[in-house]
Amino acid sequence: MTEHEHVRVAVIGSGFGGLGAAVRLRREGITDFVVLERAGTVGGTWRDNSYPGCACDVPSHLYSFSFAPNPDWPRTFSGQERIQEYLEGVADTFRLRPHIRFDSEVKQARWDSEKLWWELDTASGTLTADVVVSATGPLSDPKIPDIKGFDTFPGKVFHSARWDHDYDLRGKRVAMIGTGASAIQIVPAVQKEVGRLTLFQRTPPWVMPRADRNITRAERWLHRQLPFTTQARRGLLWGIRELQVQAFTKRPNELGMVEQLAKRNMHRAIKDPALRAKLTPDYRIGCKRILLSNAYYPALARPNVDVVASGLSEIRGNTLVAADGTEAEVDAIVFGTGFHVTDMPIAERVVGADGVSLAESWKGGMAALRGATAAGFPNFMTIIGPNTGLGNSSMILMIEAQLNYLADYMRQLTVLGGRVALTPRETAVAGWNNRVQDRMKRTVWNTGGCDSWYLDENGRNTTVWPGTTTEFRQATRRVDVGEYEVVRPPVEAASKKSRTKKKAEVSAA
């Protein structure tokens, strides 16, 4: 690479994490950066998930940036379109668009140990960057399970995160696979229009009522006129969730009381004892993400819906066969089967200092120092990295904490001066992860008796943060340079070594 473009920072992805990183870099006075986006618009998972009924189950005033409050959220739990609009607005308000390169999927990012920079090969060209911030998010690459006979299905198939809006579901026999946060929003949204809906439920979820309502014009007026009222509202939403954390992390038995509320939510809508039995979970609430819906159970009680209490295991032409042998003839299949979270495809494409990919290095389980930096990957930071997920609050709080860490990381590089990289010491990464895993032992995610996407194939919880957002914010306020090795270009490092040796010889003489 001779003539090429070089930037201080390359951010991958323009969802909440990537846009947040861009705002933060600019606030730090760094303008020499690009945001590499694989699609043609910003928004990340909120752009990709446009399925009917898609909304956020975290209240909007908390599920937004603290530095970009929106007094005009229309509902307490706003829908996908409004969240997407909000993100487009952030890109405009903070003048981020000149930095964003659309249609620029990163094919590979490779660390050059001589030059101390990242070489990025993207769909729109190559460039180098001192620092890479990977903000691709854990919920970006749809997962469709390997089902025997998949290719024999003659009908329409799509994933919840790749909804085909041109396909008309009216009157069709539709199979919904899965009962996660996406599926429980899709089911009530499509139930009225489809001919027949067959839900393949491998594990019943716990579903609580959702306190969703329009935010009144008076409230919005107040938030516009007196911005501190938006902050107060956000603070209250945050505080309540902080108080809930202990039950998830230390005293899962306390969650038993919440199960009663979820059961009541189900019993209100489901009168048939056989259906109630199918829909009753046998694990501790909170072990999987607690779902919120007022419409899911009423939809399941409708006569055009069948619940198959067993996972999809085989497809024979139009016939879908569940693991318990139940069969259903369908015209279309919607997979609400989640994402590649603990095996993110971007990890295959990032190659670190030893020529090893992040995916290989994480073969035994994802691990990063303070959820951000991985051993062997200098000047590479992940936003929403390992063990930064939340079971009950807003991921935007975690993203903003990580942005503080990024800002201080950039400051530390400036203080060190010259061509320099920081790479986390293996002992620091191991120490951090041992502490996280130790705390994880008592949490509901590990002890609640369920299997979930929080756990990797080895049963290790590498996704969730076992503490409050306050604790995480404190842990990521500053970069402790002692946790890092300072890397200099080989020539510079060698001459520094020889200068030191010479000095030692002179002083000895």
Point out which residues bind ligand NAP (CB under 6 A). 55-58, 139, 145, 160, 177-183, 200, 202-203, 289, 311-312, 336-339, 451, 453
Provide the minimum distance between the beta carbon of 332 and ligand NAP in the complex, in angstroms, as a whole number.
16
Provide the minimum distance between the beta carbon of 96 and ligand NAP in the complex, in angstroms, as a whole number.
23
Which is nearer to ligand NAP, 108 or 326 (by Cβ)? Answer: 326
Which is nearer to ligand NAP, 139 or 169 (by Cβ)? Answer: 139
Which is nearer to ligand NAP, 165 or 271 (by Cβ)? Answer: 165
**Cα 452 from Cα 457, distance rounded (Å):** 10
Provide the minimum distance between the beta carbon of 350 and ligand NAP in the complex, in angstroms, as a whole number.
23
Cα atoms in the Cβ-side hemisphere of radius 13 Å centred on 370: 29
Beta-strand runs (E) in 219-361: 291-292, 305-308, 312-316, 319-322, 327-329, 332-335, 350-351
**Cα 112 from Cα 125, distance rounded (Å):** 18
Query: Is the distance from CB of 138 to CB of 339 less than 8 angstroms?
Result: yes
Query: Is the distance from CB of 173 to CB of 198 less than 8 angstroms?
Result: yes
What is the pairing mode between strands 173-177 and 380-382? Answer: unpaired
Which is nearer to ligand NAP, 54 or 407 (by Cβ)? Answer: 54
Q: Which is nearest to 404 in space by CA: 67, 56, 60, 43?
A: 67
Query: Is the distance from CB of 17 to CB of 139 less than 8 angstroms?
Result: no
Which is nearer to ligand NAP, 179 or 476 (by Cβ)? Answer: 179
Which is nearer to ligand NAP, 184 or 420 (by Cβ)? Answer: 184
Q: What share of the chain is helix, strand, coil (3-state, %, to 5)?
A: 35, 20, 45
Which is nearer to ligand NAP, 203 or 326 (by Cβ)? Answer: 203
Provide the minimum distance between the beta carbon of 321 and ligand NAP in the complex, in angstroms, as a whole number.
11
Provide the minimum distance between the beta carbon of 222 and ligand NAP in the complex, in angstroms, as a whole number.
26
Which is nearer to ligand NAP, 182 or 198 (by Cβ)? Answer: 182
Which is nearer to ligand NAP, 57 or 242 (by Cβ)? Answer: 57
Q: What is the DSSP letter of 309?
A: S
Q: Which is nearest to 181 in space by CA: 337, 397, 395?
A: 337
**Sign of the C-alpha dihedral computed for residues 17, 23, 29 and 30 taken in this order:** positive
Provide the minimum distance between the beta carbon of 399 and ligand NAP in the complex, in angstroms, as a whole number.
14
Provide the minimum distance between the beta carbon of 388 and ligand NAP in the complex, in angstroms, as a whole number.
12
User: Which residues, 6+ apart, have CB-to-CB distance to 255 below 8 Å?
Assistant: 247, 248, 284, 285, 286, 444
Provide the minimum distance between the beta carbon of 70 and ligand NAP in the complex, in angstroms, as a whole number.
17
Provide the minimum distance between the beta carbon of 160 and ligand NAP in the complex, in angstroms, as a whole number.
6
Which is nearer to ligand NAP, 60 or 122 (by Cβ)? Answer: 60
Terminal Cα-to-Cα distance of the chain (whole angstroms): 46
Query: Is the distance from CB of 293 to CB of 207 less than 8 angstroms?
Result: yes
Provide the minimum distance between the beta carbon of 307 and ligand NAP in the complex, in angstroms, as a whole number.
11
What is the H or E stretch that residue 117 is in? Answer: strand 117-122
Q: Judging by beta carbons within 10 Å of its beta carbon (0-12, 13-18, 19+), is residue 502 exposed, middle or buried?
A: exposed
Provide the minimum distance between the beta carbon of 182 and ligand NAP in the complex, in angstroms, as a whole number.
3
Which is nearer to ligand NAP, 145 or 365 (by Cβ)? Answer: 145
Which is nearer to ligand NAP, 52 or 145 (by Cβ)? Answer: 145
Provide the minimum distance between the beta carbon of 364 and ligand NAP in the complex, in angstroms, as a whole number.
22
Which is nearer to ligand NAP, 24 or 202 (by Cβ)? Answer: 202
**Cα 39 from Cα 44, distance rounded (Å):** 9
User: Which residues, 6+ apart, have CB-to-CB distance to 391 below 8 Å?
Assistant: 248, 286, 289, 290, 444, 445, 464
Q: What is the DSSP letter of 482?
A: G
Instruction: Give residue 386's Cα distance to chain centre.
Output: 10
User: Which residues, 6+ apart, have CB-to-CB distance to 184 below 8 Å?
Assistant: 205, 207, 291, 293, 296
Provide the minimum distance between the beta carbon of 157 and ligand NAP in the complex, in angstroms, as a whole number.
13
**Cα 304 from Cα 420, distance rounded (Å):** 63
